[in-house]
């Protein structure tokens, strides 16, 4: 066999292997990009979505046909149920792990390019407005259907072909997907509770508490240029909803009291952020539902060192609340007779002083 013939055969074998791998990846679709939600989809569990939520949701939201979109961070993904009875029947949880305001705004633009929602629920906390915050490594503008200025991106649907069909990582995840029986579906965008089982371990809760405390102490009101891209994105999000006649309901995440205490810090940066938030919303004649409180219901004790099982009812750990808390939040947010917020910064300061005195 001469060299040219050998190379042709080698190229043919490589091509056949690539095609076979792509076919398997398409069939298993481990990240829920190509066949997810279709009636012909045979796959009933996709645990690999957990590590590719931004990719998955960029594609899955196309088929959601949602009248209501929920946006926010991982606190939304694990705690806010899109099937809550107070919400519209077609609701999709578009929360993204560790999302900042910019990412929330961009994914809302993306979702609205397929179907404009009638209602948007936005869950916020101070950390999402960190001036030094950057999009997560799995955020990619190329996979969004519109650019930030609203111009269409006609090739967005092809952006994930290499990573989902032609990569060895996808091939390995496809094999795992075909064997998996855990039932991870991300139904309507909410993270399956089976993925949160590790937080039933007391040691896991305590280690996560340490990690979240360290992360939450890092906050910058402005970057080195004296600017804050997250505040700018928040105003753009408000403008987008107003321009498109989308009802927007905003609420603060009901953080555990110890987490809220860290966010509050010395009160200076928190007060600046709170006053800016009040002013920005007033400019759009909007308000928000405030769940920033130091109250018994969000002061649940953590497991003690040495305990094996976590008995927490309302929180997974210091950062994430459970669905039971989220259900109460949604019932309040969706009320049409919500009371005016009032001077929530003064109220919070008083609650914090009482909470610290009673510890």
Distance, in Å, from the CA atom of 183 to the CA atom of 174, rounded to the nearest integer, reads 15
111 alpha carbon, distance to own chain's centre: 14
Check whether 9 has a pLDDT greater than 90: no
Share of residues in the chain with pLDDT > 70 (%): 100
pLDDT tens digits, residue range 201-237?
A: 999 999 999 999 999 999 999 998 999 999 999 999 9
- Print burial letters for 102-136: b (CB count within 10 Å at least 16), e (below 16): bbbbbbbbbbbbebebebbbbbbbbbbbbbebebe
Q: Dig out the tokens for 57 from the structure.
A: 């949701």
pLDDT of residue 1: 62
pLDDT tens digits, residue range 39-65?
A: 889 999 999 999 999 999 999 999 999
Dihedral (Cα; 279, 282, 284, 288), 10-degree rounding: 100
Residue listed under structure tokens 């804050």: 228
pLDDT tens digits, residue range 65-123?
A: 999 999 999 999 999 999 999 999 999 999 999 999 999 999 999 999 999 999 999 99
pLDDT tens digits, residue range 182-200?
A: 999 999 999 999 999 999 9
Q: Map residue 124 onto helix, strand or coil.
A: strand
Confidence band, pLDDT 50/70/90 cuts, at residue 338:
confident
The residue-averaged pLDDT of 19-48 equals 94
Mean pLDDT score of the chain, rounded to an integer?
94
CATH of domain 3-357: 3.40.50.1110
Distance, in Å, from the CA atom of 270 to the CA atom of 281, rounded to the nearest integer, reads 16
Nearest to 69 by CA among 102, 109, 33: 109
Distance, in Å, from the CA atom of 166 to the CA atom of 254, rounded to the nearest integer, reads 42
Q: Dig out the tokens for 309 from the structure.
A: 């099982």
Furthest-apart CA atoms within the chain: distance in Å:
86
Check whether 135 has a pLDDT greater than 70: yes
Distance, in Å, from the CA atom of 358 to the CA atom of 206, rounded to the nearest integer, reads 22
pLDDT tens digits, residue range 241-268?
A: 999 999 999 999 999 999 999 999 999 9
pLDDT of residue 335: 92
């Amino acid at each position: 066999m001469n060299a040219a013939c050998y190379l042709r055969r080698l190229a043919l074998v490589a091509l056949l292997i690539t095609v076979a791998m792509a076919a398997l990846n398409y069939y298993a679709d481990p990240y829920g990009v190509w066949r997810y939600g279709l009636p012909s989809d045979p796959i009933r569990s996709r645990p690999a979505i957990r590590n590719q939520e931004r990719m998955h949701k960029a594609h899955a939201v196309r088929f959601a046909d949602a009248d209501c979109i929920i946006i926010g961070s991982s606190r939304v993904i694990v705690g806010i149920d899109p099937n809550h009875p107070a919400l519209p029947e077609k609701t999709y949880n578009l929360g993204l792990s560790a999302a900042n305001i910019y990412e929330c705004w961009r994914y809302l633009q993306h979702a609205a390019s397929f179907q404009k929602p009638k209602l948007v629920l936005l869950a916020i906390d101070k950390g999402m407005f960190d001036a030094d915050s950057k999009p997560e490594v799995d955020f990619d503008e190329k996979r969004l259907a519109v650019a930030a200025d609203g111009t269409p991106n006609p090739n967005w649907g092809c952006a994930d072909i290499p990573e989902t069909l032609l990569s060895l990582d996808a091939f390995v995840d496809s094999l795992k997907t075909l064997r998996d029986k855990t039932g991870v579906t991300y139904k309507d965008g909410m993270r399956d509770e089976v993925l949160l089982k590790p937080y039933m371990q007391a040691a896991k809760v305590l280690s996560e508490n340490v990690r979240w405390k360290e992360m939450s102490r890092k906050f910058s009101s402005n970057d080195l240029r004296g600017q804050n891209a997250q505040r700018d994105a928040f105003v753009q999000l408000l403008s987008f909803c107003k321009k498109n006649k989308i009802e927007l309901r905003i609420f603060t995440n009901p953080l555990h009291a110890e987490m809220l205490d860290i966010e509050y810090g010395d009160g200076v940066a928190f007060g600046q952020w709170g006053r800016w938030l009040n002013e920005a919303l007033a400019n759009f004649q909007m308000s928000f539902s405030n769940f920033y409180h130091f109250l018994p219901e969000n002061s649940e004790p953590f497991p003690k060192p040495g305990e094996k099982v976590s008995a927490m009812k309302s929180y997974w750990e210091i950062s994430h609340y459970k669905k039971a808390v989220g259900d109460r939040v949604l019932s309040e947010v969706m009320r049409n007779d919500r009371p005016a917020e009032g001077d929530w910064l003064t109220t919070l300061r008083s609650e914090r002083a009482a909470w610290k005195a009673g510890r």
